[in-house]
Amino acid sequence: MANALTKQEVLKEILKAGKDPGYFTVNYCRISHPQRGLIPFQAYDYQQELLKDFNDYRFNIILKARQLGISTITAAYIAWLMLFHRDKNILVVATKLQTATNLVKKVKSIIKHLPDWMRISDIEIDNRTSFELKNGSQIKGSSTSGDAGRSEALSLLVVDEAAHVEKLADLWTALYPTLSTGGRCIALSTPNGVGNWFHQNCVEAEAGTNAFYMTTLLWDVHPDRDKAWFEKETKNMSKRQIAQELECNFNVSGETVVHPDDIQWYLERTTTPEYRTGFDRNYWIWKRHDPEKPYLIVADVARGDGKDNSAFHIFELSNMEVVAEYIGKPTPDDFADILYNVAGEYGAPMLVIENNNIGYAVLKKLSDKGYPNLYHSTKGDHQYVDPISAQWQSNAILGFTTSSKTRPLIVAKMEEFMRNRLIKINSTRLLSEMKTFIWRHGRPEAMRSYNDDLVMSFAIGCWVRDTVIVESQKNVEYSKEFISAISTSKTALSTTISGMNDHKKTAENQRNTQAVDHNEQYLALIKG
C-alpha cells in the first residue's frame, strides 16, 4: 500500500490513524495467529466498541469470558497510544510477571510489524519486560509484588486478570495517585468469586457509584460461537469452571468454602429478625427461649486489634436452627456480661467460647461469675471434657481452641451441614461472610480486608453439635446399659471395704458413678 501512496496520501493516512484507534487497528495492525502466522487484525464489533470505550472513558473495567481477544485489542490500543502520543507512560500489572510481559510483547509485535511509513517512532530501548519509543513513550510489565509505577505519573494503568490479583485493593490505593494528572485505567478479567477488588468495582460500576465504565462480554459475543461450540467446550469442564471461564458468573466462579449454590439456597430462605436489640442493636433474635427445647451458644472472640469483631450464635439443637446472633466490638468484660445474660435467658445451655487471644479473658470472667456449663477441652488434642471431670483433669482447659488441627475439622463440618441442608440459617450477615470465606493456599479463611467472625462461630457450633453432644449422648446410653448389666447380673459384686461397718464405694467406683451421674445431668441440660 505504501508504494501506491503519495507522500500527501501517506500523511493523510497517518493523521487519520492517529485520530481513530479503531481505524488504526483494522487497517494497519497485524497479529500472530497460532496456525496462520502473521495476519491482519480482523477486529470484531465488540472489540471495535472496546477501542472506542478506551478512548472515550478514563476508567474502563471489563468482565469477560476467556479467549475473546480482549488482551490483544488492549495491546492494539496501547500501541496506538504510544505511537501517536509523546511521553506516554504505561504500566501493565498482573499476578505473574510473565502475564504482564506477554501483553508488553503483543504491543511490541504490533509496532514492529506496522508498515515502515506508519511506524512514525521506532523502538529506542528494548528490554525483556519493557521498551521505549524515540518519542518518549514507554511501557513496562510488572507483577503486583513489585513497586513499579508507585512513584511516577502514569498515562495508562492496565491490570490484566484483575480478579486473580491478590492485594489489588492495596495496589490500587498505592497507584491511584499516579493517575491523578489525567491517567487512565483498564482493568480486565474473568470473574473469581465475590468480594475481591474486581468484583466490588464491577458491582459499583453497574450501580454508577464509581468512576469505572463497565463492559460485560459473555462467551456468545463472539460471532463464531454457538450452542454446539458451547456444549463441546464445556463437556469436560466443572460448573465452577464454566461460570468463571465462559458465563462471567461471580457467585459460582470463586473458590468459596461453601458452594455458591448452597449459599444462594440459604439466602432465599432467610427471615427478618423478630428483634434487633442490644446497646449497638447488633443482637438479632429470631426466636425467644422455649423451655421445652435444648440450646447451644457458641462465641468467637475478637483478637483485640480492632480489626475484627466478637460474635456468637444461639442454636436450637433439635433442628439446628440459628435462633439468635450477635456481632460487635464490645470489650472482653462487656462481651462476657452479654454472654452471661443471654445464656441465662436461654436456660444456661452449654457455652462454647474460642479461647484464642483474648478469648481466655472472657472465659475467665464467666468462670468467676459461676456460669455452670462452660465448654472444656484437653490441651494438645482438643478433646471435649465435661465440666465435672475438668475439675480434676490436669490437662483440661477452658474453651475451644481453634488451631491448624481443629480449623479444617470445624470448617468441613460446617460445609457438610450446609451442603446437606441440615441446618436453618436466618442471618443474611452470616451468609454474606460466607461469600468471602475462601480456600486460600489450601487454608479456609476470609478474603483480604474481610472478616470471618460469624463464620467461625457458626462452624464451631456445627462441629460441637455433631461431635461433642452426639458423643455425650452415646456415653449416657452406654453408661445406662453398663449400670443395667451390673444390676441384673447374678454375679455378686462386693462393694464393701473390709473393716468398715457401712457399704462404701472404692475410689474407682466413686469416679464411675460420678461420671454416670454427670452424664445424666448433662443430657438433662441439653434437653432443656
Which 3-state string (H, E, C) describes 201-231?
HHHHHHHCCCCCEEEEECHHHCCCCCHHHHH
Classified as helix, coil or strand, 236 is: coil
For residue 326, give the H/E element and its range: strand 321-328
| Residue closest to 128 by CA, chosen among 118, 139, 137 | 139
Other CB atoms within a 10 A radius of the CB of residue 299 amount to 32
Q: Which residue has the cell 468467637?
A: 300
The whole-number pLDDT of residue 204 equals 92
With b for 16 or more beta-carbon neighbours within 10 A and e for fewer, the 3-22 pattern comes to eeeeeeeeeebbeebbebbb
Beta strands in 357-425 (DSSP E): 376-378, 384-385, 396-398
The whole-number pLDDT of residue 514 equals 45
Angle (CA) 405-411-414 rounded to 5° is 140
> CB-based contacts of 476: which residues, under 8 Å, 6+ apart?
519, 520, 522, 523
Helix pair angle (197-207, 168-175), 10° resolution: 70
Distances (CA, A) of 55 to 20, 31, 291: 9, 21, 68
**152 vs 354: CA distance, rounded Å:** 47
**215 vs 222: CA distance, rounded Å:** 14
**352 vs 374: CA distance, rounded Å:** 6
The whole-number pLDDT of residue 417 equals 93
Q: Tell me the CATH number for domain 260-467.
A: 3.30.420.240
Which 3-state string (H, E, C) describes 408-446?
HHHHHHHHHHHHCCCCECCCHHHHHHHHCEEEECCEEEE
The whole-number pLDDT of residue 508 equals 41
Angle (CA) 514-516-520 rounded to 5° is 115
Sign of the torsion angle spanned by Cα atoms 434, 437, 438, 443:
negative
Residue by residue, pLDDT tens for the chain (528 residues) are 445 788 899 999 999 999 999 999 999 999 887 777 788 898 999 999 999 999 999 999 999 999 999 999 999 999 999 999 999 999 999 988 999 999 999 999 999 999 999 999 999 999 989 999 999 999 999 987 656 556 678 999 999 999 988 788 888 988 999 998 899 999 999 998 777 899 889 989 988 899 999 999 999 999 999 999 999 989 888 777 888 889 888 766 667 888 888 998 999 999 999 999 877 789 999 999 999 999 999 999 987 666 789 999 999 998 899 999 999 999 999 999 999 999 999 999 999 999 887 888 999 999 999 999 999 888 877 778 777 777 777 778 888 988 888 888 899 999 999 999 999 999 999 999 998 888 876 788 887 778 899 999 999 999 998 887 665 555 545 444 444 443 343 333 333 333 333 333 344 444 444 444 444 444 444 343
Q: Could you tell me which CATH class the domain 2-253 is placed in? A: alpha beta
| Assigned C-alpha cell, 239 | 460448573
Pairing state of beta strands 295-300 and 384-385? unpaired
Pairing state of beta strands 350-353 and 295-300? parallel
The whole-number pLDDT of residue 221 equals 94
Pairing state of beta strands 295-300 and 310-316? antiparallel
**What phi-psi label fits residue 382: left (phi over 0), alpha (psi between -120 and 50 degrees) or beta?**
left
> CB-based contacts of 168: which residues, under 8 Å, 6+ apart?
144, 159, 162, 196, 197, 198
Give residue 456's Cα distance to chain centre.
Answer: 13
Amino acid identity, residue 59?
F
